[in-house]
Amino acid sequence: MAKEQMTPMMTQYLKTKEEYEDCILFYRLGDFYEMFFDDAIKASKELEITLTGKDCGLSERAPMCGVPFHSASVYIAKLIEKGYKVAICEQVEDPKTAKGIVKREVIRVVTPGTVVDEELLDEKNNNYLAVIYSQRDKYGFAVSDISTGEIYTTEISGADEALNEIARYEPKEILLNSDAAEKLSAQVELRFHITPDECTDDFFENSEFEKNILQQFGKNSLSEIALDTKPYAVRAVGAMIAYLEHTQKTSLTYLNTINTYEVNQYMDIDVNTRRNLEITETMRDKVKRGSLLWVLDNTETSMGARLLKQWIEKPLINPIEINKRLYSVKELTENIMLRDDLSAVLSGTYDISRIISRISLGTVTPKDLIALKMTLLQLPELEYTLSNVKSPMLGDMRKNFDLLEDVCDLLERAINDEPPALLRDGNVIKEGFNEEIDNLRIAMRDGKKWLAALENEERESTGISKLKVGYNKVFGYYIEITKSAIKDVPDYYIRKQTLANCERYITPKLKEIENTILGASEKIVTLESYVFEQVRTSVSEEIERLKNAAHIIATTDVLLSLAQTAYKNNFTMPEISDNGKIEITDGRHPVVEKMSKNSMFVPNDTLLNNDDDRMIIITGPNMAGKSTYMRQVALITLMAQIGSFVPAKSAKIGIVDKIFTRVGASDDISSGQSTFMLEMTEVSHILKNATSKSLIILDEIGRGTSTFDGLSIAWAVVEYIQNKHKIGAKTLFATHYHELTELEEELDGVKNYRIAVKKRGDDITFLRKIVRGGADDSYGIEVAALAGVPKEVINGAKKILKKIENDEIVVEHTAKKHEDTTNQIGFGDSIANEIADELKNMDVTTYTPIEAMNKLYELANRAKEI
């Protein structure tokens, strides 16, 4: 491209574009943001807007498209959603006073992880930018949400832990150094559908990282000790600051607090477990409805909704901190009047966390400040409502209350109660706050009176009854006279414009009034902008106090939400301990119960500990409720550790450090992994990372390969997990391999449970009750019938099964493969052993008297064959 032939404007554009090659450049021309060349081609396609052309000095016109600047946020949102970055290039000098081409500069780069505009954000979700620095197998991890001012950092070991932290925060954008990119990029794109930023290591290479961090956050936020012991975290945080300065082009003083944490401060929940338990979104549709978050979210505010999600993503492992939350929820659950009062107060508040950020970044609107004022006006009522609380957590917030009366008073005096959305629209500053603005408004109001008086005066002096004074942006004020009255126009009238039916004139007096009115109008816009900036600056000096108020509102909202959920759903307060026991009476699945409005949920008990009940092996047919039961145990444990009441009659929860799940089977085509390979990869991860304090949920291990291989692997996995010298974790293990029930007799800590089933002829009913003992049948054909498999196929299956049972079709049974071994797998094949096993595993409580008599008759007839 021959730049020397370009027009001055296009030369300026290309120079700017060179600095922001990875962005779509929104280049301000008058009332539009224009895009050129490749940017225009991309944007026109993605935004579905017309692609045109512009003369640029070359023989061919430059491809061009544009969007109105006043609605640009809508178009920017679409591009950000598609993963693009947008550089906003504004005119930074007045075109009226500019000599030559107007000076333009990029004032902000909008990226998926640095969005602050309200219309571009999801109000109930944080918008995180993640930065990861890796060297060898050590990782520095930092995330920030600049729309709320939150920054977190830690150090971790291994790629798996790095991926788990990414899953915890669900960032919209990820910045990696080259070493981290080599290890993580493929997995990040595959698992989180995020393409990491293609950048050089420039952001990560700075000899003054520590100095910059201390300048940004102060020694209280990130101590010198932390800096010395977390060099990788320092790199990640330093790169984050550099990247934010590059994109925001403004002061980041409001980012003055950083939260350093250790990974083991919270329950570890890996990527697969988050997906399988559907903690914040459903596995299939990726929506909130049907997730644990959906059940627990009864928040009144956006701030509370975001904090609740953070609590769910970060379950605690400190019993003291958990109980602080639980006792606050207990007090609110038991006091309906307190709940109602708090709900009424919180519903009158706004998302001041994000307003605070926009104040600091200079993008706050007049309506934002009114929303802030309305929230501050609720603080006295909130303080009063909390004045008699007894729980320590709520009480501590009450003690630290700051009503921010000075800030509220400033906003009350300065900003009109119903201001326009944009500052440039005027009438923002309240009357009485600034004398000069008041005088200019008087001049504008009197100017209108002067115009009305002038119109009447000219009508009387000229005798032209239809004379009128008008205004347009091109000619300003004018006197309009119809063609029929032109003969009566005085000599001192100066013709300004001729139209088809009339003539327009000005007079010296009209010009004088015009100068006064328009001068006042222009001055008032400039002056209001100046005064508004002063108010913004004054409020920005109280950021820390405002952040504290936002935290109190959000925390109160989360505790209230958990209390409302507990009250509505008949949840109970769990007992938290460090004894390693999980004892649940009449536990229920929180989501399934809520979704099953037309049917009664069948509750179940659970006993797990570190001794005789470490592992529960659950047998029973598909569709009977094994997976639901196991998931509910995991969810009840997780809920307890976030400080929530749980769906059970009673629950004693020993702290769990990690939850692992391996549920379901599906090919991972995109990564080239088969069902079995994926299953084994996940099992390997669990066996390498679980501890004796973990909770493991395994569903149908070994099903993805041949029967003998699968059974062998499942058997070995049970032995490995059960062994206290290896793992010894509390485990729920669902299986179709009935042979595994023999392990109860062979291994300490293993107990057999099964799903109770009622059978009448060929019909079966799943009672969804977990009872002691192993299942005596898989009921595969019956389940197939329930699923709607054609009767012809069902009948064919029954005939084949009968032939197998009668040895008409020879199938090599597992027991035969091991009949010469001392460690035989399977049940005895004699009639006597079959009857004994059936009696041992029979749950007589599920039979009616008639069914019991029929079963007894059947067993008696079989016994006669012995």
642 vs 659: CA distance, rounded Å: 14
Report the pLDDT value the prediction gives residue 212, as an integer from 0 to 100: 77
Report the pLDDT value the prediction gives residue 219, as an integer from 0 to 100: 58
Query: Is the model's pLDDT at 225 over the cut of 50?
Result: no
Q: Domain of 520?
A: 435-475+510-536
Report the pLDDT value the prediction gives residue 777, as an integer from 0 to 100: 60
Query: Where is the domain boundary, 217, 246, 265?
Result: 265
Query: Is 96 found in the same domain as 216?
Result: no
851 pLDDT band (50/70/90 cuts)? low
Q: Which of 651, 584, 577, 563 is closest to 318 using CA atoms?
A: 577
H or E stretch at 755: strand 750-760
6-10, 631-635, 654-658: which has the minimum mean pLDDT?
A: 6-10
Report the pLDDT value the prediction gives residue 670, as an integer from 0 to 100: 44
Beta bridge partners of 33: 28, 67
Looking at residues 384-394, what average pLDDT do you find? 92
573 vs 326: CA distance, rounded Å: 7
Residue 639 labeled ligand binder: no
Q: Is 361 inside any structural domain? A: yes
Looking at residues 760-766, what average pLDDT do you find? 64
Q: Is 809 inside any structural domain? A: no
275 vs 284: CA distance, rounded Å: 9
Of residues 289 and 6, the one with the higher pLDDT is 289
Number of domains the chain contains: 5
716 vs 710: CA distance, rounded Å: 10
Of residues 26 and 513, the one with the higher pLDDT is 26
Q: Which residue has the tokens 């000899």?
A: 207
614 pLDDT band (50/70/90 cuts)? very high
Query: Is 710 found in the same domain as 624?
Result: yes
Query: Is 586 found in the same domain as 556?
Result: no
Query: Is 331 found in the same domain as 398?
Result: yes
CATH code: domain of residue 259: 3.30.420.110
| Contact of 336 with 568, CB cutoff 8 Å | no
**164-178, 223-237, 703-717, range with greatest mean pLDDT:** 164-178
Q: Got the DSSP string for 616-634?
A: EEEE--TTSSHHHHHHHHH
Looking at residues 624-650, what average pLDDT do you find? 94
Residue 626 labeled ligand binder: yes
Q: How many CB atoms lie within 10 A of CB 816?
A: 11
Share of residues in the chain with pLDDT > 70 (%): 85
Query: Is 365 found in the same domain as 341?
Result: yes
Query: Where is the domain boundary, 789, 822, 846?
Result: 789
Of residues 532 and 800, the one with the higher pLDDT is 532
779 pLDDT band (50/70/90 cuts)? low
Q: Is 489 inside any structural domain? A: no
**Quick one: 312 exposed, middle or buried, by C-beta within 10 A (0-12, 13-18, 19+)?**
buried
Query: Is 327 found in the same domain as 386?
Result: yes
847 pLDDT band (50/70/90 cuts)? low
CATH code: domain of residue 735: 3.40.50.300
220-224, 246-250, 270-274, 836-840: which has the minimum mean pLDDT?
A: 220-224
| Contact of 187 with 294, CB cutoff 8 Å | no
253-257, 540-544, 602-606, 738-742: which has the minimum mean pLDDT?
A: 253-257
CATH code: domain of residue 40: 3.40.1170.10
Q: How far apart are the first and last CA of the chain?
A: 97
Residue 623 labeled ligand binder: yes
Report the pLDDT value the prediction gives residue 30, as an integer from 0 to 100: 87
Tens-digit pLDDT profile for residues 466-515: 999 998 878 889 999 999 999 999 999 999 999 989 999 999 999 988 88
569-573, 646-650, 825-829: which has the minimum mean pLDDT?
A: 825-829
Report the pLDDT value the prediction gives residue 831, as an integer from 0 to 100: 64
Query: Is 195 found in the same domain as 134?
Result: yes
What pTM value is reported for the model?
A: 0.83
Residue 627 labeled ligand binder: yes
Q: How many CB atoms lie within 10 A of CB 426?
A: 16
Q: Which residue has the tokens 């603005």?
A: 437
Q: Is 827 inside any structural domain? A: no
728 vs 695: CA distance, rounded Å: 10
Report the pLDDT value the prediction gives residue 222, as an integer from 0 to 100: 47
Tens-digit pLDDT profile for residues 252-290: 888 888 888 998 899 999 999 999 999 999 988 889 999
Tens-digit pLDDT profile for residues 797-846: 666 666 665 666 555 544 444 444 344 433 334 567 667 767 766 666 56
Q: Is 482 inside any structural domain? A: no
Computed over every residue of the chain, the mean pLDDT equals 86
Query: Is 615 found in the same domain as 565?
Result: no
Query: Is 760 found in the same domain as 639?
Result: yes
Report the pLDDT value the prediction gives residue 4, as an integer from 0 to 100: 59
Tens-digit pLDDT profile for residues 39-87: 999 999 999 999 999 887 776 888 999 999 988 989 999 999 998 999 9
Query: Is the model's pLDDT at 786 over the cut of 70?
Result: no
Q: Got the DSSP string for 380-430?
A: HHHHHHTTT--SHHHHHHHHT----HHHHHHHHHHB-SS--SSGGG---BP
Query: Is 238 found in the same domain as 324?
Result: no
Report the pLDDT value the prediction gives residue 567, as an integer from 0 to 100: 97
Query: Is 579 found in the same domain as 553?
Result: no
Query: Is 214 found in the same domain as 343?
Result: no
Q: Is 832 inside any structural domain? A: no
Q: Is 425 inside any structural domain? A: no
Q: Which residues of 506-523 are buried (b: 16+ CB within 10 A; e: fewer)?
A: bbeebeebbeebeebeeb
Share of residues in the chain with pLDDT > 90 (%): 58
Residue 620 labeled ligand binder: yes
CATH code: domain of residue 546: 1.10.1420.10
Q: Is 487 inside any structural domain? A: no
